[in-house]
Structure 1
């Protein structure tokens, strides 16, 4: 047991120093939460787009980017960190595609005009939308030096959360989630832009690694204060505040109150 702990600490220090580990030395519990698929192009002008699935961790990433100083919208929905100007416009333009499946040009022209306006307002900005797969391909021509952050989460956990919030059948949400995952994988392969993949579950466990990897990708300095703020922010159900201890106590009380079947 002691040798196992020592080895874990030793490998953790090697990872912190940027040293490569042999495959057999990699601790599955210490795999970093982010995977850099394509390196960033840190220029003054760039746009960060957070993609994923509904209830899939995009809010956590968008909130962390906001704490890093990335402008994620002038009108933000505090519970999910979504840019209401973009989301409201997308909602008002439905349907975005005609019965023939082709994009409706005038609707997408309005959406592209909003993105172009943001480009004029500031050199560095971003937004997140877990449903952006519906329209993101049509925006690619106006995205300036796009950097994509794609978030992945346990499908069943996401489907459970959707059921709790909307009443939608879990199996239906799983099916839709798999379809959206296929789109994300196709999207990742189709373009050659900088791209960071994030494991929601590993980000919750290795919060400081997540904060520093995210900061490196978007080219932002991460001092100890900002990293600490992100570490405090990145937690399950953070919309309810600092509830980890309450959830643990409630869960324990539930099982203590149940009759034990023998």
Structure 2
């Protein structure tokens, strides 16, 4: 299965490294900094029949099995950490099991940019969807979330705005470095443009996945993207 050389650009995003044709089995990995639309994307894939995890957190559509296997993320950030190899093997075992069990599956974990390159060889047909959102909007949203207490930690540990901005930029650069290094099919999505151009986004997604999206599914997906939906970001 060869890949096409040309990137496909739409009013919503960029599709590239596309195969000549999609195989039946697919694993879709959702990447993006927190508060960039990754929960929305995971919910959309669930609507399309992808198994996004057997223990999903309903608030953010994150697969708890992947979170438990990869935390604390500080172990995976440091290549010299003595526990890193064992942690990566645990994630590989999880990936191999899911790939055997499901024809269409995937996962969303914002921190997977720190380990994905090490586990991609275990996946038969990986596809990557990367969410990009205006960096100021992402920073403000994460900062506000930390002030509500929903972001975890005590109030005295809450980060400053410039600290949050630094973390958003550092994660985004890590994600970009990963994306340019791997040869697999990718769809880079602008969150703002997807929410403004829902039909184009759904058309893009249909082409990228190589699977028809029914009228009923289109309606459900459009509802997930619509302003006022619980997945809409502040």
Shorter chain as denominator, the TM-score bin is: 0.7 to 0.9
User: 1:233, 1:162 → 2: CA distance?
Assistant: 21
**Residues of 1 paired with 2:138 and 2:12: CA distance?**
18
Q: CA deviation at 1:239?
A: 2.0
Pick from 15, 31, 45: which aligns with 1:36?
A: 15
* Kept in 2: contact 1:212–1:227 (CA 8 A): no
Give the number of aligned pairs.
Answer: 213
Q: Give distance in 1, aligned partners of 2:145 and 2:130.
A: 23
Give the TM-score taking structure 2 as reference length.
0.82
Q: What's the Cα RMSD here?
A: 2.4
Point out 4+ residue stretches in structure 1 off by more than 6 angstroms: none
Determine whether 1:147 maps to 2:127.
Answer: yes
Determine which of 66, 74, 90 is the counterpart of 2:54: 74
Q: 3-state SS of the aligned residue for 1:198?
A: strand
Quick one: which of 116, 137, 140 aligns to 2:96? 116
The structure that has the greater radius of gyration is: 1
SS in 2 for 1:82: coil
* Residue pair 2:37, 2:231 contacting (<8 A) in 1 also: no
Q: TM-score, normalised to structure 1's length?
A: 0.74
In terms of mean alpha carbon deviation, does 172-181 or 113-122 score higher? 172-181
Match of 2:174 among 160, 180, 183: 183
Secondary structure of 2:76's aligned partner: coil
Q: Which runs of 5+ in 1 are unaligned?
A: 1-30, 248-262
**Structure 2 unpaired stretches of 5+:** 1-9, 148-158
Secondary structure in structure 1 of the residue aligned to 2:192: helix
Is the contact between residue 68 and residue 220 of structure 1 (CA under 8 Å) also seen in structure 2? no
**2:25 alignment counterpart:** 45
Displacement of 1:157: 0.9
Q: CA distance change for structure 1 residues 240 and 228 in 2, over 3 Å: closer, same or farther?
A: closer
CA contact (8 A) 2:225 2:231 kept: no
Residue in 2 aligned with 1:226? 217
Tell me how far 1:92 sits from its aligned partner: 6.2
Higher helix share: 1
Contact 1:42 1:219 in 2 (8 A): yes
- Cα 1:195–1:240 change in 2 (3 A) is closer
